[in-house]
Amino acid sequence: MIQQIAFVITLGIAAFLIRKRTLRIRDNIKLGKPNNIKDRPSERLQNMLLVAFGQKKMFKKVIPALLHFFIYVGFLVINLEVLEFVVDGVLGTHRVFAPFLGSFYGVLMNVFEFLAVAVLLACVFFLLRRNVMSIPRFQSAELNKWPRLDANLILITEIVLMTAILSMNAADQLLQGRDEHYVATGNLFFSSFLIPLFENLSTSTLILVERFAWWFHIIGILGFAVYVTYSKHLHIFLAFPNTYYGKLEAKGHINNMPVVTNEVKSMLGIGTDAPATPAEPGRFGAKDINDLSWNSLMAAYSCTECGRCTAECPANLTGKKLSPRKIMMDTRDRMEDVGNSIAVGGAGLNDGKSLLGDYITKEEINACTSCNACVEACPVLINPLEIIVELRRYVSMEESGAPASWNNMYQNIETNFAPWKFSPSDRFNWSKEG
C-alpha cells in the first residue's frame, strides 16, 4: 500500500509539472500572429505520416538514420511496457498483463529487450559521434555550454534507463523461481546475460535490486518526460504538428505581404483582395517574436538542433556568421525569455530587447542567399528562411537599413522593372549587336 501511495504521488507530481510546462509552451507559441492554416488537409496528413512518423528525410544519411530509427521505435514500443509499470504501480500488482497474454508476453518482452539494447548501443554511438568524432556541425559555437550538455544528458539518461530495464528483468527472472509474487515470463534473451551478476544474491537482496531498478526506471521515465519539455528533444512530440502545418508550396515560393500586394495591384488597376474597410497595415516584417506567425514559433520549439541546415547553408560554408540552426535556437530563446518574464509579472515583450538586434544580428540575416538549402535539409520541415525574410523586411521597410547595394537594386526594380540600371526600352539592345 505504501508503494502504491508513493507511486500515485510521484505520477501526480510529474503530471502537474508536465501540464504546467505544456501550457507555458502553448502560451509562448500564441505570442505569434494568427495564421489560419486549414488548406489541403490530406497533403498535410501525408507529410506528417511520412516525415514525422516515417522519418522519411532522415534517410539521406543511412547509418545515423538507422540508429536514430532504433531509438525512435524503441521510444514508441518500450513505452508500451511503461503502461504496465503504471498499472502495476497504481494497483500494487506485478506484470499485470502477463496472465492475459500467456506465452506471447515472453515474446513481447524479448522484443522490448532487443529494442532496449538497440537504443543503448545507438546512444553510445551518438555520444562518441558528438564528443569524439570531429563532425563540424556538432562543433559550432551555438552548441556550446547548455545545448551540448543537453544532448549528452539525454543520451546518457537513455543508456542508464535501458540498463535499468535489463537489470530489472535479470533480477526478475531469478526471483520467478524463488517468490510466488513474481510471474513467469519465460526466458528473456538479452537480460539473461546479466543473470550471473545477481545469481549469488539472497532473495531479499534480489527483491531490493529488482524494486530499485523498477523505481529507478519509472521515475527516470517520468523525469525524462518533464525534462523533455525544457530540452531540444521536445521535437519528439512537436515534430508531428510542425510537419502537418509545414509549408506545402514549392520551396522557392516566398509569401508576399498582403498589404503591399494589394497596394501594387491597386496602382496597376488590378482587382485587389483588400477588405471594404482596410485595416492599418501594422508593422512591415518582423522585429520581435510577436511579429512572426505562431507556426514559425512552433517550428523554433520543434528544432532538433541537428545542424543539418547549417551544414548545408552556403553562407555558413563560406565563413559567414549565418547559421540557420542558430536562427531557430535564438527565436526559441527569445520566446522563453519573454514567457518567463510574463509568468512573473515582468515586462514581457516590453523589456527593451527584441529578436532582431539582441538575439539575431543584421549581419546574420544579410548573409542569407534565400537558396532554401536549410529548408530542404531539415528532417522535420522547419523553415528558417521564413523568419530571416521577415526580419529583413523589417530592416528594409521600417528602418530603411538595408545595405546600399540592396537599396540600389530596389530602386532599379521600381523604376526599370529589373535589378539592373538599364531603361526597359534598351533591354534588348544586345540582340542588335553583330
- 396-434 burial code (b ≥16 CB/10 A, e <16): bbeeeebeeeeeebeeeeeebeeeeeeeeeeeeeeeeee
Please state the pTM of the whole predicted model: 0.86
Give the integer Cα–Cα distance in Å for 82 and 84. Answer: 5
Cα 260 vs. chain centroid, distance in angstroms?
33
Give the integer Cα–Cα distance in Å for 33 and 193. Answer: 56
Amino acid identity of residue 150, one-letter, is: D
Contact 235, 304 (CB under 8 A): yes
pLDDT at site 273? 60
pLDDT reading at 335 higher than 80: yes
Per-residue HEC secondary structure of 41-72 comes to HHHHHHHHHHHHHCCHHHHHCHHHHHHHHHHH
Residue 153: pLDDT band by 50, 70, 90 thresholds? very high
Residues 6 or more apart whose Cβ sits within 8 Å of residue 174:
195, 198, 199, 201, 206
Residue 113: pLDDT band by 50, 70, 90 thresholds? very high
Give the integer Cα–Cα distance in Å for 87 and 82. Answer: 9
Contact 185, 104 (CB under 8 A): no
The per-residue pLDDT for range 184-241, each reduced to its tens digit, is: 888 899 999 999 999 899 999 999 999 999 999 899 989 999 999 999 889 989 999 9
Backbone torsion region of residue 110, taken as left when φ is above 0, otherwise alpha when ψ lies between -120 and 50, otherwise beta: alpha
Residue 111: pLDDT band by 50, 70, 90 thresholds? very high
Residue 281: pLDDT band by 50, 70, 90 thresholds? low
HSE-up of residue 51 (Cα within 13 Å, Cβ side): 25
Read off the C-alpha cell for 74.
524503441
The per-residue pLDDT for range 379-428, each reduced to its tens digit, is: 999 999 999 999 999 999 888 888 888 888 888 888 888 888 878 777 77
Q: How many CB atoms sit inside 10 A of residue 389's CB? A: 18
Give the integer Cα–Cα distance in Å for 181 and 184. Answer: 10
Contact 301, 332 (CB under 8 A): yes
pLDDT at site 257? 80
CA distance to 55, 213, 242, 425, per residue, from 12 (Å):
33, 21, 29, 75
